[in-house]
Amino acid sequence: MQHDYNYESDALQYWDIGSGTTTVLLIHGFCEDNRIWESQIKFLSKYYRVIAPNLPGVHCAPLPIHHSEPPSMRHYVEVLHELMHHLEIDQYYIMGHSMGGYIGLAFADYYVNHVMGLGLIHSTTYADSDAKKESRMKVAEFLQEWGTEKYLQMAIPNLFSSRFKKENQDAIQHVIEWGANISNEALIQFVMAMRNRPANSHLLTQNRIPIWMIVGEEDIAIAIEDSLAQTLLLPPQNVIVLKEVGHMGMIEASDIVNQSIHRFLQNALS
C-alpha cells in the first residue's frame, strides 16, 4: 500500500518498503510515476529501506509556483527533502532516472549532509544545450496543444531499444498508461524545470560522495558521447554501459540494474 504525504497544495503518494539500516530514495523521471521502479523496489527492499515517491504533479496537483518564478529542480528537491525529514530519515542514497537524476544532483548539491551517494540512471550532469532548450519548448507547446496521452503515445516507445520494442509492447504500453493521467500542466512544469537547470558536472570531480552511472548504448534521450565523457571522471567500477538498451534500463535490463545498484551501495558502505 502506498502512503500519502501532504505538501503545499496536495498529497503525493510514496512507497516505504523494507527495513534495512540504509535508506535508498528512488526518484522517477519525466512522464513517469513510481511504478517505473517496481523491479528495483522488489529487489532492493530485501536489503535496504526503500522510499519511492511520486513527484509533485504526478497523480496530484502541480507545485504552486508563482508565475514570476521559473520552475527549477530546487522546487522538487525541497518537497522530497521535507518528505525525508517527515519520515525522520537523515541520511540516504539517491537513485534518479533521467529527470530524477537531475533532481538528485540538485539534492546532493544543496543538502550535502543528507545525500551519502548518488546513482544517475540514464541521466546527465550537463545543462541543456541551446538545441535541447529549443526542443524542450517544442515539447511544452505540444503538451499544451495536444495533451499528455498523445505525447506519451508518441514519445515513450522511442525511449526503448529497437529489440525491446519488438518483443515487449505490453511493457511499453504499461509505461504509457502509468503516465497518461498526469496533467499537461505538471508535465510542462517539469519541462521548464529541466530546461532551466544548471550544469552539475562539478559533483563528478569533487569526490565528496560516490557517484555511479548507468548508460544505455541505444539511448536517444541522452547523447552517448556526453554520457561516456562524464563516465571518464568516475571510477571504472562506478560505470555500467548496457548494450542493446535505450533510456529505460530499469525495465529493459532490470536484473543487471538491480545487481549494479546493490553492488554500488555495498561498495559505498564498506
pLDDT band at 130 (very low <50, low <70, confident <90, very high): very high
- Check whether 68 has a pLDDT greater than 80: no
The set of long-range contacts for 138-143, using a CB threshold of 8 Å and a minimum separation of 24, is 139/191, 140/188, 140/191, 140/192, 143/184, 143/187, 143/188, 143/191
User: How many structural domains are present in the chain?
Assistant: 1
What global pTM score does this model have? Answer: 0.97
Q: Report whether pLDDT(207) > 90.
A: no
DSSP 146-192: H-HHHHHHHHGGGGS-HHHHHH-HHHHHHHHHHHTTS-HHHHHHHHH
Structure confidence at residue 222 as a pLDDT band (50, 70, 90): very high
Q: Provide mean pLDDT across the span 220-235.
A: 95
Residue 218, amino acid: E
Per-residue confidence band for 203, with pLDDT thresholds at 50, 70 and 90:
very high
Q: Which H or E element spans position 257?
A: helix 254-269
For 254, the domain range is 3-269
Rounded CA separation 47/259 (Å): 12
Asked whether the beta carbons of 107 and 94 are under 8 A apart, the reply is yes
Task: Please tell me the distance from the alpha carbon of residue 165 to that of residue 108, in angstroms, as a whole number.
Answer: 34
Percent of the chain predicted with pLDDT > 70: 100
How high is the pLDDT of residue 59?
Answer: 94
- Return the C-alpha cell found at 67: 508565475
CATH of the domain at 203: 3.40.50.1820
Characterize the bridge pairing of strands 239-242 and 211-216: parallel
Beta-carbon contacts of 53 under 8 Å, excluding residues fewer than 6 positions away, are 5, 12, 13, 14, 15, 25, 27, 34, 80, 83
pLDDT digits (tens, 9 = 90+) for 81-93: 999 999 999 999 9
Residue 52 Rama label (left phi>0; alpha psi -120 to 50; beta): beta
Average pLDDT score over residue span 163-182? 97
Residue 70 is predicted with a pLDDT of: 93
Q: Mean of the pLDDT values across residues 225-241? A: 96
Beta bridge partners of 6: 11
541505444: which residue's cell?
218
pLDDT of 67 > 90? The answer is: no
pLDDT of residue 1 exceeding 80 = no
Alpha carbon distance 262, 270 (integer Å): 12
Of the pLDDT bands very low, low, confident and very high (cuts 50, 70, 90), residue 128 is very high
